[in-house]
């Protein structure tokens, strides 16, 4: 009952993600301006209150790598200029498409309260906290986003903005769509005319910063939806796991005994319908965007995957080898990168040798394949709520590396990375705008921490890893400095 009360009380609370509904109009598209009024004073970007102002978007002119040899054919190029060339530029600690919100880590009416959130191991949540997590996820899935819509047609199909093509989706599915949109094939015009060797959020340096922003916005949306400003995404420490430890009806859903590809009817997630997944290849082949319609149930069959592609889940040794790699990215900065921390963590570098283009997937990618269902499709993987727990742990490994190696900002490439991944590129498809380099920094600078980062001398105290159900596991640790 309390959840329904929260639902109805907060349905009309503003949230901040994208495409902003107020910018998905014929007028906004034709003027190419996304500077909505802040409801606090009614002025565009809250200008009258000093929160921000409407400004021309500046895009970088540094050269991209050779992986995408086109220009002016895909809507994501030079984001967001195809849709908007003027957006809100927020002042101080303000953020959001209309500067009505606070930057990550800041709270309060004037965004001047600094607070640090802590992401915790999912197995350390109390029973009440686990129930709340599942309830929040389901509320987000069942609540239509008031402030955001998703685009269902290309700018060309919209007749250069004259015929807007957008659809309503739930708060949760806004994020499913975002992950689809950033990773989909490039649509070059017409059926079958696509370019597959492109991804604005994967396979290159922005993989880790992009997903960091994604989780921060997702966390933020749940807080806005529920009013629970203490909410954080928990992580699943999957090192050395032999099975899907979070696949219980108490957490992310157990296996259906009648059909191993589906979830147990005892889990609320068994009733979820996916989108941008079942027909993603069909959309690509037809050269059209996902229409955001429901496509069937969430699927998962952990462990019954292609063993030639993924032998096992990542080990503690795999993680430690990856953390010891000193270079953030190398070479062509794509899946071929050798001795690259980013490429090895993403899963295309061998976690035992560091060599790129590995015939077997490891680390981050191994977990996706292991789940053998909705999670195993890059474009549709965010349909499965395990995605959030998984990427929170991947982000924590990224944070470990940043603290261990303290890289200079110049380690993040300014030019010649695959399209979308240079340091000054605006992340697709975020509005408000974020540049990749802005998230090549410690999580503490963004207002959050991981529970296992408890300093004790020169070491990080270990991650306690005790599943709620089943046998207890030995406590494990990830060392902070290179001392082994």
Over residues 211-242, the pLDDT tens digits come to 999 999 999 999 999 999 999 999 999 999 99
Measured CA to CA, the distance from residue 163 to residue 154 in angstroms comes to 11
Measured CA to CA, the distance from residue 36 to residue 31 in angstroms comes to 13
Could you give the residue ranges of the DSSP H alpha helices within 325-455? Answer: 341-346, 363-371, 386-405
Report whether 212 contacts 205 (CB < 8 A).
Answer: no
The pairing of strands 117-119 and 448-450 is: parallel
Confidence (pTM) = 0.92
Out of 94-98, 155-159, 187-191, pick the least confident.
187-191
Looking at per-residue confidence, does 401 or 461 come out higher? 401
Phi, psi of 216 (to 5 degrees): -65, -45
Which three-class secondary structure string do you get for 179-205?
HHHHHCCEECCCCCCEECCCCCCCCCC
Report whether 243 contacts 302 (CB < 8 A).
Answer: yes
Nearest CA-CA partner of 86 in 52, 49, 61, 62: 52
* Confidence at residue 278, expressed as pLDDT on a 0 to 100 scale: 65
- The mean per-residue pLDDT over the stretch 343-359 comes to 98
Measured CA to CA, the distance from residue 340 to residue 327 in angstroms comes to 6
Measured CA to CA, the distance from residue 198 to residue 66 in angstroms comes to 10
* Confidence at residue 454, expressed as pLDDT on a 0 to 100 scale: 65
pLDDT higher than threshold 60 for residue 461? no
135-160 pLDDT, tens digit per residue, is 999 999 999 998 899 999 999 999 99
Architecture of domain 28-302+372-456: Orthogonal Bundle (1.10)
* Confidence at residue 471, expressed as pLDDT on a 0 to 100 scale: 35
Residue with tokens 């640090």: 116
The structure tokens listed for 258 are 């009648």
pLDDT band at 467; cut points 50, 70, 90: very low
């Amino acid at each position: 009952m309390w959840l329904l009360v929260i639902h109805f009380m907060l349905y009309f609370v503003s949230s901040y993600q994208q495409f902003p509904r107020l910018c998905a109009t014929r007028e906004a598209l034709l003027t190419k301006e996304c500077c909505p009024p802040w409801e606090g004073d009614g002025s565009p970007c809250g200008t009258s209150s000093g929160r921000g102002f409407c400004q021309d978007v500046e895009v970088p002119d540094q050269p991209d790598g050779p992986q995408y040899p086109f220009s002016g054919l895909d809507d994501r190029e030079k984001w967001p200029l195809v849709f908007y060339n003027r957006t809100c530029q927020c002042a101080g600690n303000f953020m959001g498409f209309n500067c009505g919100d606070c930057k990550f880590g800041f709270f309060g009416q004037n965004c001047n309260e600094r607070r640090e959130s802590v992401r915790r191991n999912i197995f350390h949540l109390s029973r009440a906290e686990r129930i709340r997590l599942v309830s929040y996820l389901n509320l987000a899935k069942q609540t239509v986003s008031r402030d955001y819509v998703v685009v269902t047609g290309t700018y060309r199909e919209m007749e250069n903005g004259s015929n807007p093509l957008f659809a309503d989706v739930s708060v949760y599915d806004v994020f499913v769509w975002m992950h689809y949109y950033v990773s989909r094939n490039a649509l070059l015009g017409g059926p079958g005319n696509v370019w597959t060797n492109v991804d604005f959020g994967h396979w290159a340096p922005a993989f880790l910063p992009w997903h960091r922003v994604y989780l921060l916005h997702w966390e933020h949306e749940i807080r806005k939806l529920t009013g629970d400003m203490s909410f954080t995404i928990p992580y699943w420490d999957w090192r050395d796991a032999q099975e899907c430890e979070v696949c219980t009806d108490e957490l992310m859903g157990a296996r259906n005994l009648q059909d191993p590809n589906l979830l147990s009817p005892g889990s609320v997630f068994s009733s979820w319908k996916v989108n941008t997944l079942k027909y993603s290849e069909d959309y690509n082949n037809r050269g059209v965007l996902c229409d955001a319609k429901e496509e069937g149930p969430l699927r998962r069959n952990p462990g019954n995957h292609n063993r030639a592609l993924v032998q096992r889940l990542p080990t503690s040794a795999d993680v430690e080898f990856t953390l010891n790699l000193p270079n953030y990215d190398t070479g062509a900065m794509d899946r071929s990168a050798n001795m690259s921390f980013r490429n090895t963590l993403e899963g295309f570098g061998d976690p035992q040798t560091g060599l790129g283009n590995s015939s077997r997937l490891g680390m981050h990618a191994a977990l996706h394949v292991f789940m053998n269902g909705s999670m195993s499709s890059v474009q549709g993987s965010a349909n499965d709520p395990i995605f959030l727990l998984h990427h929170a742990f991947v982000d924590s490994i990224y944070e470990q590396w940043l603290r261990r190696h303290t890289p200079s900002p110049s380690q993040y490439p300014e030019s010649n990375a695959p399209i979308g991944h240079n340091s000054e590129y605006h992340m697709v498809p975020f509005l408000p705008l974020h540049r990749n380099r802005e998230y090549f920094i410690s999580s503490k600078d963004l207002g959050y921490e991981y529970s296992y980062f408890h300093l004790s001398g020169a070491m990080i105290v270990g991650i306690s890893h005790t599943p709620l159900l089943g046998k207890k596991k030995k406590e494990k640790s990830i060392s902070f400095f290179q001392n082994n």
